[in-house]
Amino acid sequence: MVDANFDISRPKRAIIGIVLLALSSLTVEAALAQSRPKVAAMVGARSGASWPLWIAKESGLYEKYGLNVELVYAVHPAPIAAIISGQAAMTSSGSDPALLAASRDPSLVILGGFMNKGTFAMIGSKTTTEMKELSGKKIGVGRVGDPPYHMAVSLVKKFGMTARDVQWVSIGVDAATRAAALQSGQVDAAMITAPAYFRLQAAGMPVLAVLLDYDDIYVSTYYLFRREALNKERAMALTFIKAHAEAIKRFYDDKTFATRVMIKQGAAKNVQDANQVYDLFHKARVLEPIPYALKGSVEAVVERQSQELKGADLSKMIDNSLVDQLVRERFFESIFGASIRDEQQRRQSQAFGR
């Protein structure tokens, strides 16, 4: 029997109340998002080097830490110019251009780095199957003096050769252009990054050497900010580093999401390519949970760019104090768990300025 005192309208009122509460929460969240000032972060490469920024954006981590971030893609030197002009708050930059820019403009500062390895590989022609066979041969690079050139020099040194033992051919910064030169026989080998070199490998061209196999060949990505990030904009800079650290945790925990983001951002053409790049990054632990700018990385840039950085005061260009602060606050332990302590201690000892 139905209770005579039962009010059938009460369940309806409860449902309406829940709906109104949910709408209210959404309205409040939307208002908070609109109230946060929008800041731009520059993305200079459609490659795995931008993965933490993409994941932070796609998974709402910027918003979680109080930032309303617009990611803007532009090729070098536009990202650095945007930081100097104040049009953007930060950019992830290759170590060489970041240090060169900071040496020329005191308004810039490097506040850490989340990558120290690169996915470049030396790919040979079908008639060049080993690194030692490159003596006297032609190697295609972007241009003589650019970072891939210096990476290639480091590789040939591993096999007993010097930069003068091979012929360097400047082809262009685009991996597809270098791949075409290799396939046409214009060069005997070329520095190609993943995923472009996967297709050459599938076509029968040998992988002569992979940078990921050499921990002492640094291919680093730094955080580049305006110097104000050390004082009046410090809170914002800290939230960027926090969001990217949690994005790196998401990367290692969620392959499906990470590869989907890479495809969406145009860094991989299909799932197969994205999976292969992901597996390379995951196996080699390419993305750094503890994002210090490392002493070895800085020294590698100074060696490569000795003329341009001659006399530069590196201590004024690189500041690891924000990462130190997050270590003291046990932020990285809160994200990655207590097991990160050994890696954290090791990276602290290897950080620039130690």
What gap in Å lies between CA 255 and CA 125, rounded to an integer? 33
For the entire predicted model, the pTM comes to 0.85
Cα–Cα distance list, 274 to 203, 315, 336 (Å):
18, 38, 24
Tokens describing residue 7: 């009010």
Q: Count the neighbouring beta carbons within 10 Å of the beta carbon of residue 55.
A: 25
Q: Other C-beta atoms within 10 Å of 336: how many?
A: 19
Q: Over the stretch 169-182, which tens digit does the pLDDT of each residue have?
A: 998 767 788 889 99
188 closest CA partner among 130, 141, 137: 137
- Mean pLDDT (whole number) for 160-165: 95
Over residues 253-292, the pLDDT tens digits come to: 999 999 999 999 999 999 999 999 999 999 999 999 999 9
Q: Which residue did the predictor score with more confidence, 195 or 102? A: 102
pLDDT value at residue 274: 96
pLDDT band at 83 (very low <50, low <70, confident <90, very high): very high
Alpha-carbon distance values, 246 to 52, 64, 93, 207 (Å): 8, 10, 19, 34
Q: How far apart are CA 312 and CA 145, in angstroms?
A: 19
Question: Which residues on adjacent β-strands are paired with residue 346?
Answer: none
**195-216 pLDDT per residue, tens:** 889 989 999 999 999 999 998 9
CA end-to-end distance (rounded Å), the chain: 80
Do residues 317 and 103 touch, judged by C-beta distance below 8 A?
A: yes
18 pLDDT above the threshold of 80: no
Q: What's the pLDDT at 35?
A: 55
* Amino acid 36: pLDDT: 67
pLDDT in tens, 19-36: 444 445 445 444 444 556
